[in-house]
Chain A
Amino acid sequence: MSPEVAVTSWAVWSGGGVSVNETPVPGGGHGLWAWPERRAPGAPARARRAPASASALVRLVRAVLSTRRSGAVPELHAGVDLKLGTRTGSSEIDLAFLQSLAERGDPFGSPSLFAYTLSTAAGGEVSLALGLRGELSTVSSGAVSGLTALVAGAASVNSGRSGACLCGAMEVSGSESDVIALFLLEPARPDVDGPRLVGWRHSFDPAPVPVSPPDSVRSTMERLAVTLANGEGGEIKASSFDGHSAFLTVAPAARAAVGPERSARMRSR
């Protein structure tokens, strides 16, 4: 049986802006566009103050789950897995904790800061705020990390190991490459609308052929979102200088394109 997994909603947040079930907003400078200044809605009062990147992830997960093409299903949340590709992990928070040790002295590091020195800490904030109770993990494979998360998530949904998986990438290190991208993968059933992933693979070659310009986590996630938004299907390939490569094959949605009430695009600084 051919593999087939539905992409029922997606969103990309980069320096250019935020797009939900739409073509990503291009461009932008360093960091993500218009960080939320307050805690994302839904975060419980008892949670310690989360870094802005974690709040942004919570906000984007909420957007993806509430704009599912076949209609939002609140009870779906509890079983959703969250698998994010990341190349830089928690490096921004790690550096901040190191800085706090340098300023205060080794015995006086900030416990609140240390709590977020894990690549899964932002995902943990999603679990706290939105009630996701599925598997939470990150995967890392250089510039291919985002695609690797999608390949692993697609395989998991296709095999029945996961009932639904939010896959994508999270790179937040204050650079032009910053991106949070999320794609909700579900089993391909007649009642589940959305484009299909019909092929995927990842591999390793210690002597890769260089590509120009080099792929980045952000460019790969944006290409996938463009392909999904165009509704025409295609193949998304990426490779990294350190040997990782991956591809996804996208097939068009079986039904009509997403309605305007379920898509959004916010742009410009």
Chain B
Amino acid sequence: MPTFRATHVPAFITSIGAVTGHGLGTARLFAALLEGQSAIRPVTRFSVQGLCSNLAAEAPDDAALDTAASALGEARVDDRASRLLLAAAAEALAGRELDPSGRRGVVVGTTKGAFEHLGRSPGSDDLLGAPARALARAARARGPTFAASAACASSAVALGEALGLVEDGLCDEVLVGGTEALHSFVYRGFHALRALSPRPAMPFDVERAGLSLGEGAAVLVLESLSHARAHGRRPIAVVEGFGSATDGYDQLAPEPGGRGLISASRRALARAGVTVEEVGGYHAHGTGTIQNDRMEAAAFAALFSGREVTVSAIKGSLGHTLGAAGALDVAVCALMLQLRTVPPVTNLRVLDPMARLPAAIGATCPLKGDRLLVASAGFGGINAAIVLRTAEATL
């Protein structure tokens, strides 16, 4: 296990933007979560005939995304993942002066990037990196710019990379996020795996029947405290730690005991320099598949040893946004910390007795403590965890 130096510097989230099945903006997203609304509806963008589900959470159409992104100036993009990302970035960067800066980095998590261009143009075959470049151009970033991919933990891993750039003093600010467009390719793949639910996903519910796909993007501005203060920005939340681990069990199924997630969580806590007793809430990956839910319940039990910390999850509301999921989870958790409110787990009515977690059912509840542990997991046995804290506690 790595040993962390005493010079660990947390990074501050000073701005957030999001696009989801609920539409444009974080305000609309959080309001929908508080009300337990689900954006999972019949798919309109491609045929789902003959497939085991016809549902997904689709984001606004390209024209609406382009209109939102136009606030960033001329931003020519021709793929949906970049459009989603720029629309989210327009909210996160509103009101900021963006002079070209080599101290501004961009890290974007995605699993398929500009997938619709696959096989079309041999000159631009870095499809995964396309959204990150689009954001760097729009935000006039001249610092480190790249895509991070780690299956459904992609944007959680992107956040870990961004934290390192701030921590090492290489960047004053990093625009970090995740983006994923809903493609028929991926939909057919999850159908082939028999992972899609015929009704909206119900994480941790006894009647769950699989996951629902979604699309969306989130962009967070991560800054050092000194940089945020110098520009008069008020932090929303603090990223204290990140950890990741593989479980080496199977390409598609998580290790049932949650070995990888436990290891990732302990690494994140160690990097943050805190113990699990100092964590007041757990934000679950919560896909709604029986394998994930029961793995997470096992990991939760091992980590928290019976402590009643509140559990939240958003994929019953937004669907599983794959490479964007980690960034959207962190965006929502930062708002939870700021507002000290935990939204209910959408579509959760009766807990699966085999996946018992103290989840928020049916109504909002107050946040306990000032720290959250945010979990991500993905194919290939990849797991990631992030420790977030209220900004007030560290100022």
Taking beta carbons and an 8 Å cutoff, which residues of A are in contact with B?
Answer: 46-48, 79, 81, 86-89, 91, 94-95, 97-98, 101, 105-111, 114-121, 123-125, 127-128, 131-142, 145, 148, 151-152, 155-156, 159-163, 173, 201-206, 240-244
0/1 interface trace, chain B 1-32, chain A, CB 8 Å (1 if under): 11111000000000000000000000000000
Question: Chain A residue with minimal CB distance to B50?
Answer: A107
Q: Which residues of B contact A107 (CB under 8 A)?
A: 50-51, 188, 191
Q: Contact check: which of A86, A106, A123, A202 meets B380 at CB < 8 Å? A: A123
Q: Evaluate whether A152 and B188 lie within 8 angstroms (CB atoms) in the complex, with A89-B128, A134-B245, A141-B126 already known.
A: no
Question: Chain B residue with minimal CB distance to A122?
Answer: B380
Question: Chain A residue with minimal CB distance to B115?
Answer: A94
Shortest beta-carbon distance, A48 to chain B, in Å?
7
Q: Which of B115, B146, B167, B168 has the most CB of A within 10 A?
A: B146
Q: Contact check: which of B2, B47, B150, B263 meets A160 at CB < 8 Å? A: B2
Give the 8 A-B residue pairs with the shortest CB-CB distance, closest first: A124-B380, A204-B145, A114-B189, A135-B244, A140-B128, A109-B192, A140-B129, A107-B50
Q: Are A159 and B141 in contact (CB under 8 A)?
A: no
For residues 240 through 256 of chain B, which have their beta carbon under 8 Å from a beta carbon of chain A?
Answer: 244-252
State A88–B128 Cα separation when bound (angstroms): 8
Q: Evaluate whether A97 and B189 lie within 8 angstroms (CB atoms) in the complex, with A86-B128, A124-B380, A132-B246 already known.
A: yes
Q: Are B192 and A111 in contact (CB under 8 A)?
A: yes
Q: Are A242 and B50 in contact (CB under 8 A)?
A: no
0/1 interface trace, chain B 162-181, chain A, CB 8 Å (1 if under): 00110110100000000000
0/1 interface trace, chain B 370-390, chain A, CB 8 Å (1 if under): 000000001111101000000
Q: Which residues of A contact B356 (CB under 8 A)?
A: none
Q: Contact check: which of B3, B149, B251, B263 meets A48 at CB < 8 Å? A: B251
Shortest beta-carbon distance, A166 to chain B, in Å?
12
State A125–B164 Cα separation when bound (angstroms): 26
State A67–B260 Cα separation when bound (angstroms): 28
Q: Evaluate whether A155 and B137 lie within 8 angstroms (CB atoms) in the complex, with A89-B127, A132-B248, A135-B245 already known.
A: no
State A110–B128 Cα separation when bound (angstroms): 23
State A118–B189 Cα separation when bound (angstroms): 12
Determine whether B299 belongs to the interface, using a CB cutoff of 8 Å to chain A. no
Q: Are B129 and A118 in contact (CB under 8 A)?
A: no
- Interface residue SS majority, chain B: mixed
- The bracket for how many chain B residues form the interface is 35 or more
Q: Evaluate whether A128 and B381 lie within 8 angstroms (CB atoms) in the complex, with A79-B2, A107-B50, A161-B271 already known.
A: yes
Q: Are B188 and A242 in contact (CB under 8 A)?
A: no
Count: A-B pairs, CB below 8 Å: 223
Q: Are B127 and A139 in contact (CB under 8 A)?
A: no
Q: Evaluate whether A106 and B244 lie within 8 angstroms (CB atoms) in the complex, with A97-B185, A136-B380, A203-B102 already known.
A: no
Q: Are B144 and A91 in contact (CB under 8 A)?
A: no
Q: Are B119 and A202 in contact (CB under 8 A)?
A: no
Q: Which residues of B contact A95 (CB under 8 A)?
A: 118-119
State A121–B112 Cα separation when bound (angstroms): 13
Question: Chain B residue with minimal CB distance to A244?
Answer: B145
Q: Are A141 and B381 in contact (CB under 8 A)?
A: no
Q: Are A94 and B118 in contact (CB under 8 A)?
A: yes
Q: Are B380 and A118 in contact (CB under 8 A)?
A: yes
Determine whether B314 belongs to the interface, using a CB cutoff of 8 Å to chain A. no
Question: Chain A residue with minimal CB distance to B46?
Answer: A106
Q: Contact check: which of B146, B157, B185, B263 meets A140 at CB < 8 Å? A: B146
Q: Which residues of A contact B246 (CB under 8 A)?
A: 124, 127, 132-136
Q: Evaluate whether A91 and B161 lie within 8 angstroms (CB atoms) in the complex, with A98-B185, A109-B189, A119-B149 already known.
A: no
Q: Are A131 and B248 in contact (CB under 8 A)?
A: yes
